[in-house]
Amino acid sequence: MRYIGVDLGGTGIKAGVVDERGEILSKGSARTGQERPYQAVIADIAALCERVARDANTPLGDIKAVGVGVPGIFDPKTGRIPFCANLGWHDVPFVSEMQKRLPLPVFVGNDATVAGYAESIAGVSAGTASSVFITLGTGVGGGIVVGGKPYSGAHGVGSEIGHMILSMGGEPCNCGNRGCFERYASATAVIREARKAVAAHPESMMLARCGGDPARMNAKIAFDCAKEGDAAALEVFNGYVSALAHGIVSIINLFDPEVIVLGGGVSMAGAFLLDAVREAVKPLVLFKDMGCARIELARLGADAGLIGAALLGKE
Amino acid sequence: MRYIGVDLGGTGIKAGVVDERGEILSKGSARTGQERPYQAVIADIAALCERVARDANTPLGDIKAVGVGVPGIFDPKTGRIPFCANLGWHDVPFVSEMQKRLPLPVFVGNDATVAGYAESIAGVSAGTASSVFITLGTGVGGGIVVGGKPYSGAHGVGSEIGHMILSMGGEPCNCGNRGCFERYASATAVIREARKAVAAHPESMMLARCGGDPARMNAKIAFDCAKEGDAAALEVFNGYVSALAHGIVSIINLFDPEVIVLGGGVSMAGAFLLDAVREAVKPLVLFKDMGCARIELARLGADAGLIGAALLGKE
């Protein structure tokens, strides 16, 4: 059986035909054009779905369902997207608008949730029944899989891992609270701390690597310099790893999944980050003689969203 | 069908025969005597099970299973209790020792987990598929129900809600970490803050209520004085409510259950606490226009553990 998966982002739309094991059979993309009315965006999504089906030589009648990952929340009871900041959408009747244009069942999930689901079917957590996927990007997103199924909670507002409170009263967050996990574990947090570090230590190689302009700082520069032994960068890196480890321990103590998967831009630091995080988590877990979640790097990269969205149709 | 439930504590053992709706048909108790070898404690548990079955006029052949709630963790793969601080147990082959003495299937769960399960079958969260039970006592325990079933995680170390990190680098915890939720949301936290408050404000009525001796402070004194308008006590109460609300918001953002149930000694403060917590949670939730978990007080009281343990046999 075949499925269409759509990864709907603020800038671009990706879609593809995917088989039941999560293999991509065809793939295409389009500009989101999120400044347009939602009807126009949804018409382009539907057209892209038809195009990738043709590219995979698959008549729509042989497609079981279309799954769409969105950077927001979805209400499965109404089929509407109540809120999606990156698209500027409020209360969009997504499923009915899609079905006006495509004669297929439509499923919708949060983008991080479907990416985590994809990893649990075809990626690093394949074959596990429970996993938590953490996207370390501009913010921190999360995808929870329980009993082999994507889990969005009772009201569709769960798996917002970036907004666990890690440091009550701490750094102010865009959400209005203080001390959210993403204030410490996102690329944004690395950049903030690296800028502080070069202000205090202008001799740090981080400053030279961003051409003397802290406005050009990014997480890769900070972690690359840490890898090369720059003291100020190492301090930024160690602080980041500690915060990430504390958040992971909260997830382990609460949810105890089989695997925790690190994805998103910051995770591109690879083994340097992974090894440090594993070491930092070890002394923090509650029951040191019991097993606890493996920590792994995501494997599917930029295709995870598309694959996971497609596989929503398997349920 | 009938079940035996056992609530095994550091001081006492309670057991009872329970029907499938969670109604108690007979009940008995014994001293734990945890200073004795575990075999002796388990022999007394088995004898108590036989006694309550007789009291309910139920031959053991009509009992489907025995469920036991323990103040520790359990490894369902081995049938052993790897660790139980209150009993001083390490790696006790609990299931096999029980089955030497009783010809019945034996199920074991964490005490807070089974209490939360009981509430979800026969208590305040009855009929819901997902709930999180928080026991606010000397420490903070947790019970998670997902898909109508008790959830202990992939390695049996989940639902340790008291050890989510709420304030990274904050108050030192018995577990070795700093800033665990239970350092802010337990009765112990109330007592610690109330003692600080009477040191700074000896005019507070809290000091008089504990006979001028801060060593006799407890959470009830602090909350009663807050209710009566004592300024120092109100500050302790408000700080407690804020911390509890932040922890609840972490649970909502991560797990988004249908209901959050507050139990344990501190929850005896009733509506005074519940109303304040509900108000404090409201502005902290991420999606203010979406539904989110109801917050309720536990209803089954001291019997929750026994009932929930018994109902483990229903699975």
In which band, very low, low, confident or very high, does the pLDDT at A287 lie, cut at 50, 70 and 90? Answer: confident
**Chain A contacts of B161, Cβ < 8 Å?**
253-254
B161 → chain A, closest CA residue: A254
**Chain A contacts of B176, Cβ < 8 Å?**
283
pLDDT at res. A72:
87
CA atoms of A196 and A225, how far apart (whole Å): 15
- Alpha-carbon distance A241 to nearest alpha carbon in chain B (angstroms): 13
Two structure tokens written together for A118: 């994809």
CB contact under 8 A, B167 and A169: yes
CA atoms of B148 and B146, how far apart (whole Å): 5
CB contact under 8 A, A287 and B82: yes
User: Cα–Cα–Cα angle for B254, B256, B258, nearest 5°?
Assistant: 155
Two structure tokens written together for B93: 């082959």
Specify whether the CB–CB gap between A99 and A218 falls below 8 A: no
**Chain A contacts of B246, Cβ < 8 Å?**
165, 168
CA atoms of A101 and A104, how far apart (whole Å): 9
Residue the block writes with tokens 């734990």? B32
Two structure tokens written together for B315: 């699975």
- Residues in chain B predicted with pLDDT less than 70, given as ranges, are none
- Alpha-carbon distance B246 to nearest alpha carbon in chain A (angstroms): 7
pLDDT at res. B86:
82
pLDDT at res. A95:
97
Residue A279, φ and ψ in degrees, nearest 5 = -65, -40
CB contact under 8 A, A256 and B155: yes
pLDDT at res. A32:
95
Mean pLDDT of A270-285: 97
**Chain B contacts of A283, Cβ < 8 Å?**
176
**How does the average pLDDT of chain A come out, rounded?**
96
Helix runs in chain B, H state only: 38-55, 94-101, 111-122, 182-185, 187-200, 205-209, 219-227, 231-255, 271-281, 304-311
Contact residues for B157 (Cβ-Cβ < 8 A; gap 6+): A252, A253, A256, A285, A286, A287, A290, A291, A292, B73
CA atoms of A265 and A268, how far apart (whole Å): 6
Is residue A77 scored above 90 in pLDDT? no
Q: CA separation (Å) from B78 to A170, B38, B92?
A: 43, 17, 10
Burial class (CB within 10 angstroms; exposed 0-12, middle 13-18, buried 19+) of B213: exposed
Two structure tokens written together for A77: 């009871």
pLDDT at res. B73:
87
CA atoms of A69 and A16, how far apart (whole Å): 12
- Alpha-carbon distance A41 to nearest alpha carbon in chain B (angstroms): 24
Q: What is the pLDDT of residues A111-132, one digit of tens each?
A: 999 999 999 999 999 999 999 9
CA atoms of B256 and B48, how far apart (whole Å): 39
User: N- to C-terminal Cα distance for chain B?
Assistant: 13
Two structure tokens written together for B28: 């008995």
Among A145, A164, A177, A183, which would you mutate to test the B interface (most chain B Cβ atoms within 10 Å of its Cβ)? A164
CB contact under 8 A, B129 and A154: yes
Q: What is the pLDDT of residues A6-60, one digit of tens each?
A: 999 989 999 999 999 999 999 999 999 989 999 999 999 999 999 999 999 999 9
Q: For chain B, say whether A117 makes contact (Cβ under 8 Å).
A: no
Two structure tokens written together for B225: 């004085």
Let me know how long chain B is. Answer: 315
pLDDT at res. B159:
92
Of A155, A249, A250, the CB nearest to B256: A155
Read off the amino acid at residue A285.
Answer: V
pLDDT at res. A73:
87
Q: For chain B, say whether A302 makes contact (Cβ under 8 Å).
A: no
Coil, strand or helix at B54: helix
Structural domains of chain A sorted by starting position, each given as residue range(s) with its CATH number in brackets: 2-121+303-314 (3.30.420.40), 127-298 (3.30.420.40)
Specify whether the CB–CB gap between A307 and A7 falls below 8 A: no
Of B156, B177, B249, the CB nearest to A165: B249
CA atoms of B296 and B120, how far apart (whole Å): 12
**Chain B contacts of A130, Cβ < 8 Å?**
153-154
Read off the amino acid at residue B157.
Answer: V
Among A120, A149, A160, which would you mutate to test the B interface (most chain B Cβ atoms within 10 Å of its Cβ)? A160
Q: What is the pLDDT of residues A212-263, one digit of tens each?
A: 999 999 999 999 999 999 999 999 999 999 999 999 999 999 999 999 999 9
Instruction: Write the DSSP symbol of residue A176.
Output: S
B251 → chain A, closest CA residue: A164
CB contact under 8 A, A167 and B164: no
Of A170, A250, A283, the CB nearest to B164: A250
Specify whether the CB–CB gap between B259 and B128 falls below 8 A: yes
Q: For chain B, say whether A176 makes contact (Cβ under 8 Å).
A: yes
Instruction: Write the DSSP symbol of residue B119.
Output: H
pLDDT at res. B36:
95
**pTM of the entire structure?**
0.94
